[in-house]
Chain A
Amino acid sequence: MYSKRINDFLKSAGIGIGDIVRIVSKEHTYEGELMPRSEAGDDNVVVIKLPNGYNVGISFEGARMEKIGSGERVHSFPKLELKRGGSLPRVSLLYTGGTIGSKLDYKTGGVYMLLKPEELFYEVPEISSIADVEPINLMSIASEDMSPAEWRVIANAAEKAFEDGARGVVITHGTDTMHYTSAALSFMLKDFRAPVVLTGAQRSSDRGSSDAFTNLIASTMMAAKSDIGEVGICMHNSPSDDLFSFIRGTRARKMHTSRRDAFRSINNSAIAYAKLDGRIEYKSEHKRAGRSDGAKAITGFETKVAIVKAYPGSAPDIIEYYKDKKYKGLIIEGTGLGHTPVSTTHRGMSWLPNIKDAVESGIVVGMTSQCLYGRVNPNVYRNLRMLSGAGVIYCEDMLPETAYVKLGWLLGNYKREEASTLLNRNLVGEIKERSMVDEFLV
Chain B
Amino acid sequence: MVPRQKIDYKSLGFACGLEVHQRLATSKKLFCGCDAGLSASPVVSGSIIRSQRAVAGELGKVDFAAKFEEEKKRIFRYNIFDYNTCLVELDEEPPHDLNREALQVALSISQALNLNIVDEIQPMRKEVVDGSNPSAFQRTIMLGSNGSVKLDGRSVPITMISLEEESAGIEERKAGETTYDTDRIGIPLVEIDTDPSIASPEEARDVALRIGTLLRLTGRVQRGIGTIRQDVNVSIKSGARVEIKGVQELDVIDRLVENEVLRQVALIEIRDRLLARKAEVGRTINVTSHFKDTGVRILRNHLDNGSVVLAFALKGFKGLVGTEIGPNRRLGSEISDYAKGAGVNGIIHSDENLSVYGFTEREIEELKKILGVAENDAFVMIAGGLDNAWKASELATDRAKYAMVGVPAETRAVLNANDGTTRFMRPLPGGSRMYPETDLKPVRITSEMISLAKRNAPDIDRERSILEKQAGQRNAEELILSPRLSLYRFLVNTLEGNGELVANILLQKFTELKRSGFEVDSIPESKLLEMFKKYSSGEITKQAIEEVLKALTAGLGVEEAIRKNKLERIKGENLSKLVDSERKSYKSKDELIRAIMSKYRLNIDGGELNSMLATKHG
Residues of A within 8 A of B (CB): 25-26, 28, 30, 35, 38, 40-42, 45, 47, 50-59, 76-78, 104, 106-107, 109, 111, 122-123, 203, 205-210, 213-214, 238-242, 257-260
- Could you tell me the distance between the alpha carbons of A83 and B392 in the complex, rounded to whole angstroms? 28
Please judge, given known A-B contacts A53-B431, A53-B434, A77-B60, whether A208 and B92 are in contact too, CB under 8 Å.
Answer: no
A–B pairs, 10, beta carbons within 8 Å:
A52-B159, A53-B432, A54-B122, A54-B140, A54-B162, A59-B119, A104-B435, A104-B438, A209-B50, A209-B134
B531 adjacent to chain A (CB < 8 Å): no
- Could you tell me the distance between the alpha carbons of A57 and B52 in the complex, rounded to whole angstroms? 31
B68 to chain A, nearest CB (A): 13
Please judge, given known A-B contacts A78-B56, A111-B438, whether A28 and B160 are in contact too, CB under 8 Å.
Answer: no
Please judge, given known A-B contacts A40-B442, A53-B433, whether A208 and B122 are in contact too, CB under 8 Å.
Answer: no
Q: Contacts of B547 on A, CB cut-off 8 Å?
A: none
B579 adjacent to chain A (CB < 8 Å): no
Please judge, given known A-B contacts A77-B60, A106-B435, A209-B134, whether A57 and B118 are in contact too, CB under 8 Å.
Answer: yes
Nearest first, the 9 A-B pairs at minimum CB distance are A57-B120, A208-B136, A53-B434, A106-B58, A54-B142, A109-B436, A55-B122, A209-B136, A59-B119
Supply 8 further A-B pairs (C-beta < 8 A) apart from A53-B124, A106-B57, A208-B137: A38-B436, A53-B434, A54-B140, A57-B118, A59-B119, A208-B70, A240-B50, A259-B93
- Could you tell me the distance between the alpha carbons of A56 and B121 in the complex, rounded to whole angstroms? 6
- Could you tell me the distance between the alpha carbons of A77 and B62 in the complex, rounded to whole angstroms? 12
Q: Contacts of B94 on A, CB cut-off 8 Å?
A: 258
B444 adjacent to chain A (CB < 8 Å): yes
Select B54's contact among A42, A77, A208, A238, beta carbons within 8 Å: A208
B525 adjacent to chain A (CB < 8 Å): no
B441 adjacent to chain A (CB < 8 Å): yes
Q: Contacts of A206 on B, CB cut-off 8 Å?
A: 55, 435
B16 to chain A, nearest CB (A): 18
- Could you tell me the distance between the alpha carbons of A255 and B59 in the complex, rounded to whole angstroms? 37
- Could you tell me the distance between the alpha carbons of A111 and B435 in the complex, rounded to whole angstroms? 11
Q: Contacts of A239 on B, CB cut-off 8 Å?
A: 48, 90, 92
B543 adjacent to chain A (CB < 8 Å): no
A53 to chain B, nearest CB (A): 3
B593 to chain A, nearest CB (A): 69
Q: Contacts of A45 on B, CB cut-off 8 Å?
A: 119-120, 442, 444
Q: Contacts of A52 on B, CB cut-off 8 Å?
A: 142, 159-160, 431, 434
> Beta-carbon contacts of B118-132 to A below 8 Å, as 1s and 0s?
111110111101000
Please judge, given known A-B contacts A106-B435, A241-B49, whether A208 and B91 are in contact too, CB under 8 Å.
Answer: no
- Could you tell me the distance between the alpha carbons of A51 and B145 in the complex, rounded to whole angstroms? 12
Q: Contacts of A51 on B, CB cut-off 8 Å?
A: 431
- Could you tell me the distance between the alpha carbons of A333 and B141 in the complex, rounded to whole angstroms? 45
A83 to chain B, nearest CB (A): 19
B51 adjacent to chain A (CB < 8 Å): yes
Contacts of B159-202 to chain A: CB distance below 8 A? 159-160, 162
Q: Contacts of B434 on A, CB cut-off 8 Å?
A: 52-54
Contact of B135 with A57 in the complex, beta carbons under 8 Å: no
Q: Contacts of A240 on B, CB cut-off 8 Å?
A: 48-50
Q: Contacts of B127 on A, CB cut-off 8 Å?
A: 208
> Beta-carbon contacts of B147-161 to A below 8 Å, as 1s and 0s?
000000000000110
Please judge, given known A-B contacts A53-B433, A123-B55, whether A242 and B91 are in contact too, CB under 8 Å.
Answer: no
Select A47's contact among B87, B122, B134, beta carbons within 8 Å: B122
Select A56's contact among B50, B53, B137, B142, beta carbons within 8 Å: B142
B558 adjacent to chain A (CB < 8 Å): no
By beta carbon, the residue of chain A nearest B441 is A40
Contacts of B91-108 to chain A: CB distance below 8 A? 91-94
> Beta-carbon contacts of B356-380 to A below 8 Å, as 1s and 0s?
0000000000000000000000000
Contact of B55 with A57 in the complex, beta carbons under 8 Å: no
Q: Contacts of B137 on A, CB cut-off 8 Å?
A: 207-209
Contact of A207 with B136 in the complex, beta carbons under 8 Å: yes
A258 to chain B, nearest CB (A): 5
B379 to chain A, nearest CB (A): 35
Select A259's contact among B92, B136, B441, beta carbons within 8 Å: B92
Select A57's contact among B90, B119, B140, B438, beta carbons within 8 Å: B119
Select A78's contact among B60, B121, B433, beta carbons within 8 Å: B60
Contact of B93 with A258 in the complex, beta carbons under 8 Å: yes
Contact of B438 with A38 in the complex, beta carbons under 8 Å: yes
Please judge, given known A-B contacts A41-B444, A123-B53, whether A56 and B136 are in contact too, CB under 8 Å.
Answer: no
- Could you tell me the distance between the alpha carbons of A121 and B351 in the complex, rounded to whole angstroms? 47
Interface centre among B48, B435, B444 (most CB of A within 10 A): B435
Total interface residues on B, CB under 8 Å, equals 54
> Beta-carbon contacts of B412-425 to A below 8 Å, as 1s and 0s?
00000000000000
B453 adjacent to chain A (CB < 8 Å): no
By beta carbon, the residue of chain A nearest B77 is A240
Contact of A104 with B436 in the complex, beta carbons under 8 Å: yes
Q: Contacts of B248 on A, CB cut-off 8 Å?
A: none
Contact of A208 with B55 in the complex, beta carbons under 8 Å: yes
Q: Contacts of B125 on A, CB cut-off 8 Å?
A: 207
- Could you tell me the distance between the alpha carbons of A240 and B78 in the complex, rounded to whole angstroms? 9
By beta carbon, the residue of chain A nearest B433 is A53
B350 to chain A, nearest CB (A): 39
By beta carbon, the residue of chain B nearest A257 is B93
- Could you tell me the distance between the alpha carbons of A38 and B49 in the complex, rounded to whole angstroms? 34
Contact of B50 with A59 in the complex, beta carbons under 8 Å: no
Contact of A41 with B435 in the complex, beta carbons under 8 Å: no
Q: Contacts of B142 on A, CB cut-off 8 Å?
A: 50, 52, 54-56
By beta carbon, the residue of chain B nearest A47 is B122
Contact of A25 with B435 in the complex, beta carbons under 8 Å: no
Contact of A55 with B124 in the complex, beta carbons under 8 Å: yes
B207 to chain A, nearest CB (A): 20
- Could you tell me the distance between the alpha carbons of A53 and B435 in the complex, rounded to whole angstroms? 7
B553 adjacent to chain A (CB < 8 Å): no
- Could you tell me the distance between the alpha carbons of A38 and B146 in the complex, rounded to whole angstroms? 26
Contacts of B242-277 to chain A: CB distance below 8 A? none
By beta carbon, the residue of chain B nearest A53 is B434
B284 adjacent to chain A (CB < 8 Å): no
- Could you tell me the distance between the alpha carbons of A57 and B127 in the complex, rounded to whole angstroms? 21
B66 adjacent to chain A (CB < 8 Å): yes
Contact of B87 with A56 in the complex, beta carbons under 8 Å: no
B230 to chain A, nearest CB (A): 18
A110 to chain B, nearest CB (A): 8
- Could you tell me the distance between the alpha carbons of A55 and B118 in the complex, rounded to whole angstroms? 10
Q: Contacts of A42 on B, CB cut-off 8 Å?
A: 119-120, 442, 444
B116 adjacent to chain A (CB < 8 Å): yes
Contact of B66 with A260 in the complex, beta carbons under 8 Å: no
Contact of A57 with B121 in the complex, beta carbons under 8 Å: yes
A308 to chain B, nearest CB (A): 31
- Could you tell me the distance between the alpha carbons of A326 and B121 in the complex, rounded to whole angstroms? 52
- Could you tell me the distance between the alpha carbons of A241 and B137 in the complex, rounded to whole angstroms? 17
- Could you tell me the distance between the alpha carbons of A78 and B91 in the complex, rounded to whole angstroms? 25
B156 to chain A, nearest CB (A): 18
- Could you tell me the distance between the alpha carbons of A46 and B166 in the complex, rounded to whole angstroms? 29
Contact of A208 with B129 in the complex, beta carbons under 8 Å: yes
A225 to chain B, nearest CB (A): 21
Please judge, given known A-B contacts A106-B57, A260-B92, whether A41 and B442 are in contact too, CB under 8 Å.
Answer: yes
B46 to chain A, nearest CB (A): 10
Q: Contacts of A104 on B, CB cut-off 8 Å?
A: 435-436, 438
Contact of A258 with B55 in the complex, beta carbons under 8 Å: no
Q: Contacts of A241 on B, CB cut-off 8 Å?
A: 49-51
Contact of B118 with A56 in the complex, beta carbons under 8 Å: yes
- Could you tell me the distance between the alpha carbons of A240 and B177 in the complex, rounded to whole angstroms? 14
Q: Contacts of B431 on A, CB cut-off 8 Å?
A: 51-53
A204 to chain B, nearest CB (A): 8
By beta carbon, the residue of chain A nearest B129 is A208
Please judge, given known A-B contacts A42-B444, A57-B442, A238-B48, whether A259 and B56 are in contact too, CB under 8 Å.
Answer: no
A275 to chain B, nearest CB (A): 12
Q: Contacts of A47 on B, CB cut-off 8 Å?
A: 120, 122, 442
Q: Contacts of B436 on A, CB cut-off 8 Å?
A: 35, 38, 55, 104, 109
- Could you tell me the distance between the alpha carbons of A309 and B491 in the complex, rounded to whole angstroms? 61
